[in-house]
């Protein structure tokens, strides 16, 4: 499992390097919206989503499935690594963005400090969970190129919905509803993993 | 002697194509040539061995273990070279190796570096910049760097120049020295196998024609040549394929001693090459 996650991280790193400028600019020069809602509800999920989808694109263009499934690893490990690396990546990005945000605040480069960190993290987890939970099985079932349109629609829809309900996400989520939503997204991820596993186990290369 | 690969009554249906009743065995210390015309099922068989596609029936035992239940342990001991280089084109040779190396319990970087030097490959070169031959060398360097006991190669020599093909055969012979490793080498360039293979497995239209020692194949089949007046019904029955020309005929027999005994004076018997065996058996009456 470890080499599989490491492989995904290595490939994701290629995308993240392109996004460093984007991350720094967002964190440094973001306005009130970016600081309060956008940082967690838009920036982090965008980075995670792009980084998660990039290896799928690379794998398909190289037909890497042949290599991957010829290596000493099981198909279960291949699927699990997709989810695990996405979640680990989410944690790493949240840490990086949050730390750099507070560093810039301390340096006086940012005036608008994030007000409710926990709400922000929950918001970003919910969005990342939905994006990952839907896009991974779609990519496994349809292959990246065929699932690309669905993924783009999903991406745009989620962010429009988030923009629409962002006050609800970052301000009005009371404790119980917040955790209920978290559990619902965890449920979605578990179901998504089951579906992906079933599809990947019967996949032929 | 240890059996490295044993396939019994393997069946797989893929659309209109069907691979059926495939059975053969490869022992340690040998090179097996896996031959057949394009579309005969060679790649599908290799995919079945590697569990890239699922079998319908039959059994595939590698190192005495069932692939489906011991996939990880078995694949740790297999090196593979495919017809197409499916590594990341946009990454460097070294970076591709870095992604693959941690999967293998016995990966040896010094062996990998030695092969890169031997094949004159620059580790900092991107895979997309490699020629077809260099891509095969790169795949081979990866396949040989983790002490694999079974090397599976699917059409590695197609499109390659004779110099590299000859070099590759030398590497394979070197690889099996010691008697604990084996090679399954799929190709339709049979001349390569005449120099290197110990056993030949021939499939055609998804069915196995034979699996036997190369020398036995070459002594079992012979080309028969003679005048048209000799070509009676008895002789025709003994021939696999017959080509009639203006002044004579040419065909292949699986019974050279009988033909020689019966038609000694009027026919010419020549040793068949693997290519001729494949051509006649696959072509039937041309």
pLDDT mean values, one per 10 residues, chain B (286 residues): 91 93 95 92 95 94 92 95 91 95 96 94 94 91 96 87 86 90 90 88 93 92 90 86 87 89 86 89 61
The CATH topology of domain B221-283 is: Alpha-Beta Plaits (3.30.70)
Cβ of residue B84 closer than 8 Å to a chain A Cβ: yes
User: In the prediction, which pLDDT does B286 show?
Assistant: 34
B92 forms beta bridges with B126
CB-based contacts of A52: which residues, under 8 Å, 6+ apart? A12, A82, A85, A86, A89, A131, A132, A135, A136
B6 forms beta bridges with B25, B61
Tokens standing for A70? 């010829």
Q: Report whether pLDDT(A40) > 80.
A: no
Mean pLDDT score, A189-202: 95
Residue with tokens 């795949």: B139
d(CA B82, CA B77): 16
> Residue B75: which of A61, A64, A72 has the nearest Cβ?
A72
The alpha carbon of residue A158 is apart from the nearest alpha carbon of chain B, in Å, by 31
Tokens standing for A125? 């987890």
Tokens standing for B87? 């590594």
Tokens standing for A117? 């960190």
Of residues B56 and A113, more confidence is placed in B56
Q: A17-54 in b/e burial notation, b at 16+ Cβ within 10 A?
A: eebeeebeebbeebeeebbbbbbbbbbbbbbbbbbbbb
Q: How confident is the model at residue A75 (pLDDT cuts 50, 70, 90)?
A: very high
The alpha carbon of residue A203 is apart from the nearest alpha carbon of chain B, in Å, by 7
Q: How confident is the model at residue A126 (pLDDT cuts 50, 70, 90)?
A: confident
Cβ of residue B88 closer than 8 Å to a chain A Cβ: yes
Q: What is the ipTM of this complex?
A: 0.85
Share of chain A above pLDDT 70, in %: 78
The alpha carbon of residue B87 is apart from the nearest alpha carbon of chain A, in Å, by 6
Cβ of residue B56 closer than 8 Å to a chain A Cβ: no
- Chain B positions touching A70 (Cβ under 8 A) are 50, 52, 75, 78, 80
Query: Domain extents for chain B?
Result: 3-212, 221-283
Top residue of B73, B74, B99, B101 to mutate, by most chain A CBs within 10 Å, is: B99
The CATH topology of domain B3-212 is: Rossmann fold (3.40.50)
Contact between residue B226 and residue B266 where contact means Cβ atoms under 8 Å apart: yes
Q: How confident is the model at residue A174 (pLDDT cuts 50, 70, 90)?
A: low
d(CA B276, CA B271): 10
Mean pLDDT score, A56-82: 92
DSSP A100-132: HHHHHHHHTS-S---S-HHHHHHHHHHHHHHHH
Tokens standing for B246? 């203006």
Tokens standing for B74? 């078995």
B268 forms beta bridges with B225
Interface of A with B in 79-98 (CB under 8 A): none
- As to burial, measured by CB atoms within 10 angstroms (0-12 exposed, 13-18 middle, 19+ buried), residue A96 is middle
Q: Report whether pLDDT(A168) > 70.
A: no
Contact: B99, A202; criterion CB under 8 Å: no
d(CA B154, CA B140): 12
CB-based contacts of A45: which residues, under 8 Å, 6+ apart? A124, A127, A128, A131, A158, A159
Q: Report whether pLDDT(A31) > 60.
A: no
**Which residue in A has a C-alpha nearest to residue B100's C-alpha?**
A71
> Residue A205: which of B52, B76, B104 has the nearest Cβ?
B52
Q: How far is CA B275 from the centre of its chain?
A: 13
Contact: B72, A2; criterion CB under 8 Å: no
Share of chain A above pLDDT 90, in %: 23
Mean pLDDT score, A137-162: 82
Contact between residue A140 and residue A81 where contact means Cβ atoms under 8 Å apart: no
The helix/strand count (H/E) of chain B reads as 11, 14
Q: What are the CA-CA distances from residue B111 to residues A54, B143, B146 (Å)?
A: 32, 11, 8
d(CA B179, CA A11): 39
Cβ of residue B128 closer than 8 Å to a chain A Cβ: no
d(CA A174, CA A118): 12
- As to burial, measured by CB atoms within 10 angstroms (0-12 exposed, 13-18 middle, 19+ buried), residue B11 is middle
Top residue of B71, B89, B143 to mutate, by most chain A CBs within 10 Å, is: B71
Of residues A93 and B78, more confidence is placed in B78
Top residue of A4, A8, A62 to mutate, by most chain B CBs within 10 Å, is: A62
Contact: B52, A3; criterion CB under 8 Å: no
Mean pLDDT score, A169-190: 78
Listed in sequence order, the DSSP H helices in chain B are: 42-49, 71-75, 93-100, 109-118, 132-143, 162-176, 190-196, 214-220, 233-238, 256-263, 274-283
Top residue of B62, B70, B86, B128 to mutate, by most chain A CBs within 10 Å, is: B86
User: In the prediction, which pLDDT does A89 show?
Assistant: 87
Q: How confident is the model at residue A26 (pLDDT cuts 50, 70, 90)?
A: low
CB-based contacts of B33: which residues, under 8 Å, 6+ apart? B185, B186, B187, B190, B192, B193, B196, B197, B199, B200, B201, B214, B274
Tokens standing for B178? 């010691």
B80 forms beta bridges with B152
**Which residue in B has a C-alpha nearest to residue A69's C-alpha?**
B52
Residue with tokens 């002490």: B147
Helix (H) or strand (E) holding A178: helix A175-201
């Amino acid at each position: 499992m470890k080499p599989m996650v490491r492989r995904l991280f290595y490939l994701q790193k290629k995308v993240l390097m392109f996004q460093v400028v984007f991350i720094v600019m967002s964190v440094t020069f973001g306005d009130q919206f970016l600081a309060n809602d956008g940082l967690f509800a838009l920036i982090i999920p965008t980075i995670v989503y792009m980084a998660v989808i990039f290896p799928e694109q690379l794998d398909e263009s190289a037909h890497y499935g042949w290599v991957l499934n010829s290596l000493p690893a099981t198909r279960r490990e291949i699927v699990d690594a997709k989810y695990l690396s996405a979640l680990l990546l989410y944690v790493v990005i949240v840490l990086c963005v949050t730390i750099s945000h507070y560093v810039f605040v301390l340096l006086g480069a940012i005036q608008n400090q994030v007000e409710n960190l926990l709400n922000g993290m929950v918001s970003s987890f919910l969005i990342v969970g939905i994006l990952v939970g839907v896009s991974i099985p779609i990519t496994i079932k349809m292959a990246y190129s065929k699932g690309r349109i669905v993924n783009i629609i999903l991406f745009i829809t989620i962010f429009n919905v988030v923009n629409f309900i962002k006050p609800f996400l970052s301000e009005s989520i009371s404790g119980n509803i917040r955790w209920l939503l978290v559990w619902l997204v965890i449920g979605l991820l578990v179901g998504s993993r089951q579906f992906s596993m079933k599809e990947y186990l019967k996949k032929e290369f | 002697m240890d059996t490295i690969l044993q396939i019994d009554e393997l069946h797989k249906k893929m659309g209109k194509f069907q691979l059926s009743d495939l059975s053969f065995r490869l022992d340690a210390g040998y090179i097996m040539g896996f031959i057949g015309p394009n579309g005969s099922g060679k790649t599908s068989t290799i995919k079945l061995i590697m569990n890239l596609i699922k079998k319908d029936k039959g059994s595939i035992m590698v190192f005495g273990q069932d692939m489906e239940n011991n996939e990880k342990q078995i694949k740790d001991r297999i090196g593979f070279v495919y017809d197409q280089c499916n590594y990341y084109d946009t990454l460097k040779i070294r970076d591709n190796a870095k992604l693959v190396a941690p999967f293998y319990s016995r990966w040896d970087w010094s062996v990998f570096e030695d092969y890169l030097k031997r094949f004159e490959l620059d580790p900092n070169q991107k895979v997309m910049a490699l020629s077809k031959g260099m891509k095969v060398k790169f795949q081979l360097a990866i396949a040989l760097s983790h002490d694999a006991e079974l090397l599976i190669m699917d059409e590695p020599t197609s499109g390659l120049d004779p110099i590299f093909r000859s070099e590759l055969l030398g590497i394979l012979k070197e690889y099996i020295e010691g008697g604990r490793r084996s090679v399954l080498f799929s190709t339709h360039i049979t001349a390569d196998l005449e120099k290197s293979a110990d056993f030949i497995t021939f499939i055609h239209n998804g069915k196995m024609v034979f699996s036997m020692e190369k020398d036995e194949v070459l002594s079992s089949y012979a080309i028969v040549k003679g005048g048209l007046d000799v070509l009676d019904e008895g002789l025709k029955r003994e021939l696999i394929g017959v080509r009639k020309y203006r002044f004579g005929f040419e065909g292949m027999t699986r019974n050279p001693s009988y033909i020689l005994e019966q038609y000694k004076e009027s026919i010419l018997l020549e040793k068949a090459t693997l290519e001729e065996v494949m051509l006649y058996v696959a072509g039937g009456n041309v």
